Structure 1
């Protein structure tokens, strides 16, 4: 007896990862955008700088506003799928920094100040940095073909 394999049509095989990346980009990008907005406009730059200083972040006066802007603008770029790879890579590294400076000593659970939340954000950003924006990113529209392929 020959075993018959049931495969999905090619259109599903090539589309599902792109849809998954779209969902991941929109959710992770929106969260990063919201965090940047919060740091800039709710906590304010002086408040965010003070918090970073208290956590022991080196050069907090430069790092705090820079990171807030990168999260705000970078989150928007990730949602749009423009320059996704470098922006997401930078945000992944920043979340590792957040874990090291603010959360690692508190253990795993976020309700105790732990690193579980920033670990998920770091992983999501790393996945986007590795995979790129997928078919539904706007890099292919706004960047030259080679740049879009490399930078996503």
Structure 2
């Protein structure tokens, strides 16, 4: 049995749970940068870790995590935000965490790898019907239908 062969209702519930769980983690980390640490301390931390353009990178990370987390929770433009979040986590893995090995307790990459993998899975699977994307998809598909062209291979 694969995700596409699961009963549709179960698939939608599982995607909802994955989106809300992953989105909540991203949202918490984004808000932590804004509210708990503050952007000045986040920028200093990014500079100490060797992140390029730490002032800009800190703001981009905080915004992507906060807005992306909310977008995942509600299922808004899920593939777009999931890919942005995955790209950010892959950047964090390569720039900061890779030299420390896998264990998060040693500043390793296990958390950012898991978050990137989850985001990539959501980018591939989509948000499901229990989402803003799912509600708007039928309308969007109906609007796009007249623009579709048939492509056939010549024999």
| Residue 52 of structure 2 corresponds to residue 72 of structure 1 | no
| Residue 75 of structure 2 corresponds to residue 49 of structure 1 | no
Which contiguous aligned blocks of 4+ residues in structure 1 show a shift greater than 3 angstroms?
140-144
Counterparts of 1:126 and 1:88, CA distance in 2: 6
C-alpha RMSD of the superposition: 2.2
| Residue 142 (structure 1) shift | 5.4
| Residue 59 (structure 1) shift | 1.1
TM-score (normalizing by structure 1): 0.84
TM-score (normalizing by structure 2): 0.83
Aligned counterpart in structure 2 of residue 138 of structure 1, from 129, 132, 142: 132
1:103-148 CA-to-partner distances (Å, cap 9, x unmatched) read 111111111111111111000111111111011111244575149x
Aligned counterpart in structure 1 of residue 85 of structure 2, from 68, 91, 94: 91
Aligned counterpart in structure 1 of residue 115 of structure 2, from 121, 124, 127: 121
Q: Which residues of structure 1 form unaligned runs of 5+?
A: 1-11
Moved more, 134-143 or 104-113: 134-143
Alpha carbons 2:128, 2:134 under 8 Å: kept: no
